[in-house]
Amino acid sequence: MSKVDLKALGIDEIKAFIAQKGLPQYRARQLLHWIYGKQASSIEEITEFSRPLRQSLAEGVYISNLQVIRSQRSTDGTEKFLLALADGESIETVLMPDIDRATLCISTQVGCAMGCRFCRTGYMGFRRNLMAHEIVDQVITLRRIGRVVTNIVMMGMGEPLKNLSAVTDALWRLTELMGISPKRVTLSTVGIPEGLRLLSKGAPPVNLAVSLNAPNNRLRGEIMPISKQYPLEELIETLRRYPLRRGRRITFEYVLLRDVNDSLEAAEGLSRLVKGIPSKINLISHNPFEGSPYKPPQEAQVLRFQQVLIQRGLSVFIRKSRGADIDAACGQLIYREVSDSEKC
């Protein structure tokens, strides 16, 4: 009989497991605290349990752990980690330290099926969804090796709303079991209307970021195939109705592609599109990669684009790329095999 991975069990399943063992329910709280609060990597590390209890539990259960295959550090301090999953697949996660925070960009799928033409991950295709504990374990793994993580962004490999059940479970674990405030967690999506409606009803109130990238459906469909299935007009109407806590705003991410979506006319169209939605706009210059059909815009054009939006009363920020020299910037994540000499 194979052992059960405790991280693969939800909160209620952990409680049921403890009850099945004939143990008091406070043991379930202790177990969850050691797994998610203290980042225990094995039953043996749970010293709050007696040795006989640890030995008894270890006969039927274990605590899984992601393995760091490779780590790279950028000149700007950004770190990228290639993490091995139990079935041999791998994912990338990126840590971006700042003066007052350390943001971890985590993945929700192995690969991505959205096929956005400006994103390197889309070119590798879709392998599989991550399970809830594999999503959360990216945070646990980094903390276990001594990295400080204060903020979480689901902006790595994959589309979170195409793995909604596991993502919702992971969000509750991050906020309830690991104590990370929902205000410090952001979910980034291409914008799937029914997924957004379900997210607002079933997940903790985390921040929402939507990858917009065009002022109209025709242009968006050229660079983001998802717009052919879910028209931009439907997405915007869904976002107008999205329930926001007091003081919260939706973040619109806009990747600027030279001579594609960076014209001043596009800026005018974008301002009309999002008018009336509590929001801010992050402008991100395209991060090139091998095989990309696009180029980043000229800096002067980015500033002109921003100015048009500001003049229309919008909050607009230019986001500088982090970790581009190690292919860790927005839109650059992809799995590749590594040689033995590259492994940690």
Residue with tokens 């607009």: 316
**Torsions phi, psi of 26, nearest 5?**
-65, -20
Is 253:188 a contact under the CB 8 Å cutoff? Answer: yes
Q: What is the mean pLDDT of residues 279-288?
A: 92
Query: In the chain, pLDDT over 70 holds for what percent of residues?
Result: 93
Q: So what's the pLDDT on residue 288?
A: 83
Range in 142-156, 249-263, 273-287, 330-344 with the lowest mean pLDDT: 330-344
pTM, full prediction: 0.93
Whole-angstrom distance, CA of residue 6 vs CA of residue 46: 13
Active centre residues (catalytic): 92, 330
Secondary structure of residue 191 in the 3-state scheme = coil
pLDDT band with cut points at 50, 70 and 90 for residue 332: very low
Q: So what's the pLDDT on residue 122?
A: 76
pLDDT greater than 90 at residue 174: yes
Whole-angstrom distance, CA of residue 297 vs CA of residue 245: 35
Q: So what's the pLDDT on residue 253?
A: 96
pLDDT tens-place string over residues 65-108: 999 999 999 998 999 999 999 999 999 999 999 989 999 999 99
**CB atoms near residue 170 (< 10 Å):** 28
Q: Which residue ranges make up each domain of the chain?
A: 4-62, 67-326
Q: So what's the pLDDT on residue 119?
A: 86
pLDDT greater than 70 at residue 328: no
- Between 320 and 227, whose confidence is greater? 227
Using alpha carbons, select from 192, 174, 191, 196 the residue that is nearest to residue 183. 174
Q: What is the mean pLDDT of residues 192-204?
A: 97
Residue with tokens 């041999």: 88
Is 71:58 a contact under the CB 8 Å cutoff? Answer: no
Q: At what angle do helices 299-311 and 264-274 cross, to 10 degrees?
A: 40
Q: So what's the pLDDT on residue 334?
A: 61
Residues with Cβ < 8 Å from 125, sequence gap 6 or more? 111, 112, 113
Q: What is the mean pLDDT of residues 110-135?
A: 90
CATH, range 67-326: 3.20.20.70
Q: What is the mean pLDDT of residues 177-192?
A: 96
CATH, range 4-62: 1.10.150.530
Is 80:92 a contact under the CB 8 Å cutoff? Answer: yes
pLDDT greater than 60 at residue 185: yes
Using alpha carbons, select from 136, 141, 119 the residue that is nearest to residue 225. 119
